[in-house]
Amino acid sequence: MIRETRVTVGKTWAACTLVGLALTSLNCDRSYPEEESPSTTGTSSTPAAPQAVAPEKGITLVWGTIADNPQEEEDKDHEHGAFLAHMTEHLRKYGVADIKLVYCHNPKEMGEWIREGKVDIFDESPFGAYLVHRFGGADEPIGNRWKNGNEKFGSVIFSKKDGPIKTLDDLKGKMIVFRGDTSTANYFRPKVFLVRQGYKLVEKKSWDDPVAPDEIGYYFSWASRDSEVEAVMDGRAAAGGVSDEFVDMLLGRDTGPAGSARHPRSGVAQTKKEDLRILARIPPVLRRVVTIRKSLDPTLKAAIKDYFLKVHETPEGAAVMATFGPSTRFSAVDTDEDAYQGILDQGELLEQEVQRFDAMH
């Protein structure tokens, strides 16, 4: 696997460039918003620029995903490595020489990359995957990646157990923290839930912006899931929205490979599930939607799908999947209705999010 070149300048990341099969550069706006949490997200090394693979030497596939902050890119580098190498070996008989990993925060641009044939496979939680599909229209669902053993995951809205927020009504005039604006469980689903319950949600630039008595303010941490919990425990936010998987399976536990994408502050006792008050649970959606470029060669497309559906059946494949997130398996998903269940049915609220991204980019 070859990664794209990237340059770090403080917390502002310069444009990324990936040289693909047709010597076409992918340039994505990589300027992430400033992180609101005081916790450190870490820095990334700058790998050497990848070399283009000539057509006669084999096919280079490009795997795309969304990253909301530099730390998340480092996490995804770590979790994709062994899996993409294993997938490449399996697909060599179909002419595949390499699989590259590329990220972008902008789902509109990622959709364009797929439409232009610069990205072949895309992997994200359902809301982010839908945005990419909506803006590009050139991909189709091929599977669902089960992560941390879960076929689906839901969301929770939580507060500090020994704090003053005991019900959703207590959030009026207060601030809630979300992770990032492409997140399914850590933004879209809890936000939609609150709006459907009749609450007025208003986006804020910072955790200390004023919030009117009749509204619930929200801001983005642009950092790890741990930073959301820390913001609530520290009093910067009255509540947060995260996945039920994070709270029920990962928080405050020795989670092995599943903990590799966690970044709690060092030197501070980790928050446990028992320290939180669960204000609401939102029903689950698919864990990780995988889509494929419609115009990809049909034989190669079928081979990729076959690999996804069978990789977990061998001890070697299961071991590789365990490094990928960790993941357990892929299951087949063939229609938009199945892939984006819980997203498509949000009607005007979904359209507002699409318009928001369209206006931003």
CA angle 142, 336, 67 (to 5 degrees): 70
With cut-offs at 50, 70 and 90, classify the pLDDT of residue 27. Answer: low
Question: The pTM is what?
Answer: 0.84
Q: What is the CATH number of domain 8-149+287-360?
A: 3.40.190.10
Average pLDDT over residues 205-234: 92
Q: Which of 170-184, 243-257, 339-353 has the lowest mean pLDDT?
A: 243-257
Q: What are the residue boundaries of the structural domains of the chain, listed by start?
A: 8-149+287-360, 153-284
φ and ψ of 223, to 5 deg = -150, -160
Q: Do 8-149+287-360 and 153-284 agree at the fold level?
A: yes
Q: Among 340, 319, 327, which Cα is nearest to 146's?
A: 327
**Is 40 in contact with 74 (CB distance < 8 Å)?**
no
Average pLDDT over residues 54-60: 67
With cut-offs at 50, 70 and 90, classify the pLDDT of residue 48. Answer: very low
Provide the pLDDT for residue 316: 97
pLDDT digits (tens, 9 = 90+) for 1-24: 433 433 222 223 333 434 333 323
Q: Which of 104-113, 135-144, 233-242 has the lowest mean pLDDT?
A: 104-113
What torsion, rounded to 10 degrees, do the Cα atoms 263, 265, 271, 273 define?
-10
CA angle 258, 85, 315 (to 5 degrees): 65
Q: Among 269, 268, 308, which Cα is nearest to 291's?
A: 308
Provide the pLDDT for residue 252: 58
Q: What is the CATH number of domain 153-284?
A: 3.40.190.10
pLDDT digits (tens, 9 = 90+) for 177-212: 999 999 999 999 999 999 999 999 999 999 999 999
